[in-house]
Chain A
């Protein structure tokens, strides 16, 4: 059972904006630990999308953005494209578990 909760699925039409939430607690996101986001296309390894709450690695389009507030974090995708259809995971550190934790994952569907 993951300590970071995400909605199982979100969907949007091409060009729309979607957001994915990642809800934690005082022992992880609420404690100030960084949140990172990954995109996993079907049958492939995860790819780093956002690190340190809101930073994009080189090569990641600026359509992807991250934010954090309190015990939650969010990933926003603007100008949704067919190629964005994938699973998305948040990741942080949990002091109660003394280890890294992933969110439950969210499947993004482009209508």
Chain B
């Protein structure tokens, strides 16, 4: 059974960057798209963007264009999300999530497997 294991909690200063990792284990990595979804404290879910490792091209939500970069390392079955120019409003739990279809990247798909979440706190 595929599992997504994320890196640990981070505390960052405003204006800095954070890079969160998401390592897949127990199954195929390259043919499934991975997205990043965040959840601010007490708030709802927000899609940030996604990537399918076999193609390598990322797609980002308009809100985060220019500030987020999503990449993958197929050799370690790991996806990364880097968010720059951090501000206090970026304080949230960041989740990676896998699409439920393989071999292509469709923004119409559901997320069937989720990482455990990574808390990122932005504070001076």
Number of contact residues on B: which range applies?
20 to 34
What per-residue 1/0 map shows which CB atoms of B103-122 lie under 8 Å from chain A? 00001111110111100000
**How many A-B Cβ pairs are below 8 Å?**
65
A30 within 8 A of B: no
Q: Is the interface of B mostly helix, strand, loop or mixed?
A: strand
- Contact (A91, B61) CB under 8 Å given A45-B115, A103-B44: no
Determine the chain A residues whose CB is within 8 A of the CB of B45 once the complex forms.
38, 46, 89, 91, 102, 105
List chain B residues, Cβ under 8 A from A57. 100, 112
Shortest A3–chain B CB gap in Å is 12
What separation, in Å, do the CA atoms of A33 and B108 have in the docked complex?
Answer: 7
- Name which residue of chain B comes closest to A92, CB basis: B108
CB distance from B2 to the nearest CB of A (A): 13
Bound form: Cα–Cα A101–B49 in Å: 11
A2 to B63, CA, bound (A): 12
Q: Is A84 among interface residues, defined by CB-CB distance under 8 A?
A: no
Q: A97 with B44: in contact, given A45-B117, A57-B112, A91-B110 (CB under 8 Å)?
A: no
Q: Across chains A and B, which 8 residue pairs bring their CB atoms closest together, nearest first?
A: A36-B110, A51-B110, A45-B114, A100-B47, A102-B45, A105-B44, A99-B61, A48-B112
